[in-house]
Structure 1
């Protein structure tokens, strides 16, 4: 677990007032008191690159449910059976694992880790280890991080958004297709 939050990637975008946890906070989009209720949650992403970085920023700050939502828009727009779709799904599952760890539920978190790793291994097989993640971490490095998490995957119950992974998702100059 990080002792301090990493630097913001998009400091001009305001973080939500809370990091959603089921049963502890209002659902962000369905509950009228949710932090994103009534916001224009467009099915069209105007800048895939910015939405990708926004998801990484949210993830790094401990807003795992919100990161999942940012990446889900990209996943939905990725073509069926594409490398990008596999990659986004892996990130979504990793964010879901973060939510489960913050809820104090290591067993469901481990299930998400395994599924994320399976998507990344499939990505490696399809792309001969050449997939450009858009991050400074390669697919192989992400798999290694997931392997370390799954071995020490202690739950970290917390109502406060906090980074719980030992790595940071830093965008590289190139973004995934």
Structure 2
């Protein structure tokens, strides 16, 4: 399957698995550490990040989104089937309702900082593909995160359903 036929989340998961997910590799640990700590321009200078940008079709206009994505994916240590919002919420949330509301309202650097804290609170484990797709389309993802946090499935968009 070509990268163009794959979703952004699937592309990011493949990239994460190759470059960061193998924590038994010194190179993966080193790259993850650099991405977590580096200034934005240093993140953009990483060859692996440029590979991700090419695979996703991200150019200079979305450099901030790419830096956020790479830095936050570097925080994740384990891929899991559960989306991050489900891991944060539910019957006994690890992220308080007030902190979750703040995360949902956040933008820019505050969003990055709060998302980093949320990943850590979720034991650095979540669905990498879902996280990446959501970060790249954050405005559209916010309502779905609210449903997932409270343990419900997001309602289907009935306007997209076909009548048989």
TM-score (norm 2): 0.31
Whose helix proportion is higher, 1 or 2?
2
For normalisation by structure 1, the TM-score amounts to 0.29
Using CA pairs below 8 Å that are at least 6 residues apart, which structure has the higher relative contact order?
A: 2
